[in-house]
Amino acid sequence: MAETTAQSTQSRHGRRTPPGLLSRLLGLPFRIVAVLVFSIISAVLIEWAGMAFQWWEQPGAEHALHMMHTEVGWLDSHFTQSLLLSNPVVTVQAAVNAAFDTVLIKTGIGPALMQYSNESGWLGTVATYLLAAVYIALVILVRAVILFLTFPLFVMAALVGFVDGLVRRDLRKFGAGRESAFIYHHAKRWAGPAFVTGWLLYLSVPWSIHPNTFLLPCASLFGLIVSITAGSFKKYL
């Protein structure tokens, strides 16, 4: 009897307590920073691999520079209005210019890399790779701002999916439909990864892609998962 009580006590103490809402909110900024850092490292490694194996049509760091100009052009032409910022184009351009001036111009790193990248030998190669990494980091910054501006799209998709799921749950409740805890738990488990994976893929993709081409399917998939989760929730609490 004493051994059974001791085992039950150890099992209760050894059981992990799920994190609460406050701890999740406090850890959200660190998760966002971790996603950005991982995306920058992945994108830089893919860009360097493309430069080494000549996957890109543009030589040297020209591919990364072309990506940066293309992403900024899409931001200027397709994100002129936002629910989160009064003038997103001006705000984003100011943020990108401030980051560019602070990291490259004021420190002298940018002019030095541009100068040494034109030279031959290992020094020019290293400078070219570092310059491409800087351009890719700016591309990730622009894409992160685009994700921030399109965040209401994911919120709207989640709300539509949640309402649709509640309607289907009520129809199943009053129509004596069958419950499936298997579907609910698996859909609930995939809600977070579907949200984060879409952002990671968009930030790390090694070529210029229009935001709507990638983010609209991701938002639709996220809303579908939320709808399945809410619709398969148990009928009676």
Q: What is the pLDDT of residues 134-171, one digit of tens each?
A: 888 888 888 888 888 888 888 898 899 888 888 887 77
Domain range enclosing 172: 151-237
145 and 155 within one domain: no
As a whole number, the mean pLDDT across the chain is 76
145 and 41 within one domain: yes
193 and 233 within one domain: yes
Judged against a pLDDT cut of 50, whether residue 6 lies above it is answered with no
48 and 108 within one domain: yes
Q: How many CA atoms lie within 13 A of 191 on its CB side?
A: 20
Q: What is the pLDDT of residues 8-51, one digit of tens each?
A: 544 444 555 656 545 665 666 777 788 788 888 888 998 889 88
Q: Please indicate, yes or no, if residue 165 is contained in any of the structural domains.
A: yes
Token pair in block for residue 208: 């210029």
Q: Please indicate, yes or no, if residue 68 is contained in any of the structural domains.
A: yes
214 and 189 within one domain: yes
pTM: 0.74
- CA distances for 152 relative to 30, 36, 147, 180, 202, angstroms: 21, 20, 10, 31, 17
Q: What per-residue confidence (pLDDT) applies to 2?
A: 44
* Residue pointed to by tokens 């943020």: 95
180 band by pLDDT with thresholds 50, 70 and 90: low
Rounded to 5°, the CA angle 208-192-221 comes to 60
**Nearest Cα to Cα of residue 68 among 42, 38, 90, 47:** 47
